[in-house]
A = this chain, B = another copy of it.
């Protein structure tokens, strides 16, 4: 019985006992769920810049990741950069895949489904006549994004598809990308 309980608690690498305890705790104290995430960025040269992700606020206090994450971004040579990192728009696609995948693993664990493999490819189509200012009819951002999942797990296909659908329905990044968020830009020129 103990073995079964441990296995069940850690299904898909998700600590479901802690997951459910966290849900219960937030139900009792909804303010705990107010988070602020942050990214810092420093220009290097040309289109090359460096982002740092370290600190955030949540569950009522300032917090830090266990280590500081640093990510370079750049344009490839064909877009007049030096390819020192992915383009900013590629990071958006990565964020979407990561959010849907994390949610899928949590939801599968909560529903008692063991996953064996989850892979995805996200593609985003963009016409750079927009950002280049060459065609006022073309938007700056992606015209459309497609996520293609391959999911293997110990459940019928329809149940696996329902896990992805529930992850989509509760994905923070999917919501941001499909529905938009108000963004304020402030500039200090010391």
Contacts and interface: CB of A to CB of B under 8 A. Distances in A.
A37 B90 contact: yes
Interface residues of A, number: 133
Contacts of A184: 144-147
Nearest to A171: B140
Main secondary structure of the interface of A (DSSP, over half): mixed
A6 interface: no
B46 A14 contact: yes
A19 B180 CA distance: 30
- Copies of this subunit: 2
B176 A92 contact: yes
Contacts of A23: 132, 134
Given A12-B46, A125-B34, A127-B34, A94 B41 contact: yes
B182 A145 contact: yes
Given A40-B119, A151-B187, A178-B183, A49 B141 contact: no
A121 interface: yes
Contacts of A75: 102
A39 B69 CA distance: 19
Contacts of A47: 14, 102, 105-106
A177 B172 contact: no
A1 interface: no
